[in-house]
Amino acid sequence: MKLSQFKFNLPDSLLANDPAEERDEARLMVLHKDTGKIEHKIFKDVLDYFDDKDVMILNNTKVFPARLYGNKEKTGATIEVFLLRELNKELRLWDVLVDPARKIRVGNKLYFGDNDLLVAEVVDNTTSRGRTIRFLFDGTEEEFRRNVEILGETPLPKYIKRKATEKDKERYQTIFAKHEGAVAAPTAGLHFSRELMKRLELKGIEFAEVTLHVGLGTFRPVEVEDLTKHKMDSEQFIIDQKAADIVNKGLEEKRRICAVGTTSMRAIESAVSANKTLKAANDWTSKFIFPPYDFNIANSMITNFHTPESTLLMMVAAFGGYDHVMNAYEVAVKEKYRFYSYGDAMLII
């Protein structure tokens, strides 16, 4: 398929800058992938589509406050440093993006916080905006993390044109987030409230938790018309035996298996055994899913509404059927559904 087949007109007014008042009260579009039928619901109605022993696969990655603002030595110029991933814990080496990049050279020192709570030195150039930095910090790992927590901002996507607030600390994080390592939230999971989780549990729904640390590549635009030429950024994922067992039991019993979010789907599709079951794994994936694609594990999916021409939309189109999904997006625009990270949700069954 071609990139241009995933274009659609999205008015700026439909970009969600803030979350819904309550997590589980965002709107929910239900798309039946065999017929293309569409229903309009509220997210908490998701309960009506699942039964005893059905399985929901959740991504329990935790977003860390990845956006720091520091000052360059001598000039005092303000520099944004976006922490991508830790390369070496002992040496405190990090892979980062810097902005404005032209001012930052190897050997420069950067100072963060009023009392220079953290100081870093640039040790390498990786890409035009990418750098490797070393934090010069003698305290414990706990103290270092606490300082990052104090100085760092919730890494809201760039299209949200406001500063991150205290509220974002809570709302740009799923309630089941456990393992720190993501620089963007697995957004489909943001709609689950504690009350809804309890009600799903009481109904007998099984939860299988996997971890995929979402990287900035999730926002990287596709720049080639021929999709087979696009390379995805690599992301770390972990599936333990317990999660694999829950999913495989569901498969065996022909239950509804629901991937909550494109990240959960990407993780499970990267760990399929030869006999089409889910296997435990601790690995990196750069899997790019676009139509046509045969899915092996999940038979339903919860996802948000994504950007035109994004890899996320392509995966959703592969799962729900290209024509059905593009039609559903047309309906979503007409019905004024909210798009992107803080936006509304879609259930594909």
pLDDT of 113-151, one tens digit each? 988 899 999 999 888 889 999 999 999 999 999 999 999
Model confidence at 191, pLDDT cuts 50, 70, 90, reads: very high
pLDDT of residue 319: 98
Whole-number Å distance between alpha carbons of 68 and 148: 8
pLDDT of residue 334: 98
pLDDT of residue 126: 86
Whole-number Å distance between alpha carbons of 244 and 242: 5
Q: Residue 74 above 90 pLDDT?
A: no
- Please compute the mean of the pLDDT values over residues 255-284 and round it to a whole number: 97
| Alpha carbon 59 to chain centroid, angstroms | 9
Q: What is the C-alpha radius of gyration for the chain, rounded to an integer number of angstroms?
A: 21
pLDDT of residue 230: 95
pLDDT of residue 73: 86
pLDDT of residue 116: 86
78-89: per-residue pLDDT in tens?
999 999 989 999
Q: Residue 102 above 90 pLDDT?
A: no
Q: Do the beta carbons of residue 259 and residue 239 sit within 8 Å?
A: no
Whole-number Å distance between alpha carbons of 130 and 308: 26
Question: Among residues 210, 265, 178, which one has the least CA distance to residue 59?
Answer: 210
CA-CA distances (angstroms) from residue 279 to 57, 152, 293, 294?
14, 36, 20, 18
- Please compute the mean of the pLDDT values over residues 249-267 and round it to a whole number: 98
pLDDT of residue 101: 87
Q: Are strands 27-31 and 345-348 parallel, antiparallel or unpaired?
A: parallel
213-246: per-residue pLDDT in tens?
998 887 788 999 999 999 998 999 999 999 999 9
- Please compute the mean of the pLDDT values over residues 302-326 and round it to a whole number: 97
157-184: per-residue pLDDT in tens?
888 988 899 999 999 999 999 999 999 9
pLDDT of residue 332: 98
| Alpha carbon 79 to chain centroid, angstroms | 25
- Please compute the mean of the pLDDT values over residues 92-118 and round it to a whole number: 91
Predicted TM-score (pTM) of the model is: 0.92
pLDDT of residue 312: 96
Mean of the per-residue pLDDT values of the chain: 95
pLDDT of residue 153: 92
| Alpha carbon 118 to chain centroid, angstroms | 28
Q: What is the DSSP letter of 15?
A: B
